[in-house]
Structure formats: C-alpha cells, structure tokens
Structure 1
C-alpha cells in the first residue's frame, strides 16, 4: 500500500470510529507503531485529525452521523455475515426490537417470512420487513435523523415503554472492556439503552474494528449484554473479557 493511500485510509478509520489507538492502526495496516506515529504527526499538521495519548481522534463533530449510504458499504461483508448469525437467534412468534444500524437492515433482508413482531426506529428496516407478509412491524416514530433514516428523541423513547420484547438487536460504534458500549450520537445511544430496557436479552452486533473503541455517548456496560456477534478478527482480550462476564460470543 502506498503511503498516500495509507494516510487516506487512516483518516477514514479515525473519522468512522472517532478515536483509535496506535497499536490498532499498526495491526490494521501491518506497519510498525513508529510508522503510525509519524503518519499521525503528518496528518495532524494537515489538520485531518488530532493526536491523543496513545492514538488519534477525529476532528469532525462527534454528534454528526455518517450517511446511511456510506455506512451501508462500510465493512459490508462482515456486517452481512454477522446479520446472518443474528437471524439464527430468532424464533417464530417472538417479539424483537431492531435499532437503525446497517447491520439490522442486513438482518431484515435475511430474515425468513415467519410470524414475528418487530419494533424498529429504522425506516429502511421497516420498508425491508414490509415485504414479508407474516412479520408485524411497529415503528417508534419520533424525530427523524435524515442521514441515518431513523427516528430518535423523547417520542421514540416513550413509544418503547409500551412494549416488552424477547430480544433486542443493537449495534454501536464502540465496544470497550471498561467503557462498555458507546455511540457517536447521543440520541441513538439513549434509544438503544431504552431498547435494552424492554428486552429479556440484548444481542450486540459489532465487527472487530469496533472493539477497543470508546466514542461520545455511553450506552451500557458489558455486563448488561447477553450475546455479542462479531467476526473472526476479534482480539483475544475481548474473548477472555466476554468469558469472564458470562457473555456468549459468536464469531463468523
């Protein structure tokens, strides 16, 4: 990989994840940590990111959301594989809640046409599920976020209070041993927390690039999660952390 291409990809990763450590970038790009430090120094001078202790953070506004079209093609292979594993956890006649992540949209595409009740704050997920005759879809309503095509806010949160579901399927921007789950958007984080509160169990869907990351808005601690579905590139430290906390870890 050419240096210029590596620099471009580093900025993309930092902006997507909002913060990342030098050690992770070193593994991602298969170069030494010293090389990454020099890269970050140059990119900071170009005002493309900001260096932090042990890593780098995005200089983009943390509350801004990446457009759905962008998220749809980011790590698409991993997201679809994770979605396929998630669908296997759904039984006929269950009630479930799906957040507005692109992974849940892949779930909706893969979901069989079986008797289900699905609550979601995602317009894309609702449209996809409308093609399945046996699936009853309930939309939260609320304040529309155009970039993510999702509903958030007090109305969306209050609407969830009316229901109880068997399982909540959520994604996030960061999975951290001490920091738990986090999201770059506070509205999304609050709604995901509410989704978890009405569910018997929570299944988190996150590819391995999300691990070790802490972003703006805290969702919950790891102890509140029953299952994590990820890909095979997950760091061993997280396999051990999940085992210690009694969290089922599924990797494709």
Structure 2
C-alpha cells in the first residue's frame, strides 16, 4: 500500500475510533512503527491529526465540539419541541428563527411548510430553509461566531430589525421564574432583546432542564414571552410564577 492510500485508511480508522496507538496502527496496516510515525507526521502537518505520547488522535473540529455537538444534547426533547414549534407555523408566514440548537430543530420540522419568509442569523437554519419549499430566506449578515455558527453584533441587529415576523422562535439558556429568560452569551442575548419587540408572538423553546435554572445574562422579561414550548410540565410553583405565559408541552 502506498503511503497516501495508507494515510487515507489511517484517517478512516481514526474517524471510527478517535485515537489509536502507534503499535495498533502498525499491526493493522502491516508496517513498522517508524513508517506509521512518518505517516502521522505528514498527517499532523496537514492538520488532520494530533500526536499523543505513543499514539495519535483525530484533530477535533472546533465546530464539531461546540454547536454541532450541542445539537445532540437532549436531542429527543429538542426534536419534540421543534416539531411542536413547527406546527404553529402556517404557509406564507414571516418567521424569525434564532441561532439556538432547539430552534434548529424547529427549522428541520418545517419541511412541509411553503412560501415562508424566514429571517435568521443562523447559517445552518438559513441553509436548511433555503433548500425546502418555496421559501424566501433573509440572513442577517454580520460577523460569524464560530461557536454558534451564527451572526451577532450591531450589523446583524441593524439588518434583522427591518423585519416584522409574525412568530419569533428563540432558544433560551435558562428560564428563571423571578428574572425571566436568561442566556450565557452577551451578544446572543442582545440580538434576542432587539428582535423580540419586532415579533407579533415570541415563542421560547426550552427543554425541561433549562426551566428553573440560572443564567449569566438577562434576555427577556416574562411579560415579553407569549408561549414557552418544553418537553415536561414545570412544577406547580414555577407554573404559577410564569403567570400568563402559555406553556405548551411537546409530545
């Protein structure tokens, strides 16, 4: 096996196992440890792998370890919440979908929708919605935050506030019954605060792990939220504190 082909096979091996020892790879490919070390050196120079003591591991894509990995956290609950959110959308509506991972699942469940006008600061949502139905997609622009794969900042806000969505879907970091909707990133919260008054209805998407929790940055007062979609009914004391906010349980 020539070196280039072997390196491709090593990469496939690492994609399945994430890391391997030099000895394991040498045995698997029937070559010496020194040959494997030369392969690893070349692959490291190409940015594909990282050397370990006595071994090698695949180089993690920072996007995979952040946003794309967070998509998988509580995935079943997020899928259910996304489906419930999508059921509220009618053909022809103008809809804002923000950058949160639960909001992404709302976009995924809008496959059957038609003729929507979708405003978003999320690269993944923009791509998803542009490929389905007879939709118009308006991306806010601005600087891309690689942790969220989304645009934030003044440029994104100045473009987004030109639109008047009938429904705005916002994922949220936490819901505190005394302080409202909270997040952990200042720019993310600032974008949501700017867009909430522009929407006819503000719908917050939050799995049950986020309700009754604390956060770093204030995003919404409770009286700004029309509906919270979650996967489990909150405890009675939290339901009472949420007042007039409608609670929709995703099934």
Q: Report the TM-score, using the length of structure 2 for normalisation.
A: 0.71
1:92 CA displacement:
1.3
Query: Quick check: 1:241 aligned with 2:241?
Result: yes
Native 8 Å contact 2:178 2:241 kept in 1: no
Q: Aligned residue for 1:180?
A: 180
Find the aligned partners of 1:163 and 1:69 in 2 and give their Cα distance. Answer: 28
Q: Aligned residue for 1:135?
A: 135
Query: Quick check: 1:124 aligned with 2:124?
Result: yes
Deviation digits for residues 171-217 of structure 1 (CA, Å, limit 9, x no counterpart): 11110011111110000000011121210110000011101122111
Find the aligned partners of 1:226 and 1:166 in 2 and give their Cα distance. Answer: 12
1:233 CA displacement:
5.2
Deviation digits for residues 112-148 of structure 1 (CA, Å, limit 9, x no counterpart): 2311100000001111112113111100011110111
Find the aligned partners of 1:165 and 1:113 in 2 and give their Cα distance. Answer: 16
Find the aligned partners of 1:241 and 1:176 in 2 and give their Cα distance. Answer: 9
1:250 CA displacement:
0.4
Q: Aligned residue for 2:190?
A: 190
Secondary structure of the equivalent of 2:91? Answer: coil
Deviation digits for residues 83-134 of structure 1 (CA, Å, limit 9, x no counterpart): 0000111111111101001111111111023111000000011111121131
Find the aligned partners of 1:129 and 1:196 in 2 and give their Cα distance. Answer: 21
Native 8 Å contact 1:99 1:169 kept in 2: yes
Query: Which 5+ residue runs of structure 2 have no aligned equivalent?
Result: 1-64
Q: Aligned residue for 1:232?
A: 232
Structure 1 residue runs of 4 or more that deviate by more than 6 Å after TM superposition: none
Q: How much is the aligned-residue C-alpha RMSD, in angstroms? A: 1.3
Find the aligned partners of 2:169 and 2:197 in 1 and give their Cα distance. Answer: 12
Name the count of aligned residue pairs: 185
Higher relative contact order (CA 8 A, sep 6+): 1
Q: Report the TM-score, using the length of structure 1 for normalisation.
A: 0.71
Q: Aligned residue for 1:82?
A: 81
Query: Which 5+ residue runs of structure 1 have no aligned equivalent?
Result: 1-65
Native 8 Å contact 1:160 1:198 kept in 2: no
Alignment of 1:15-164 (within 5 A): 67-111=66-110, 112-164=112-164
Give the greater-gyration-radius structure (CA). 2
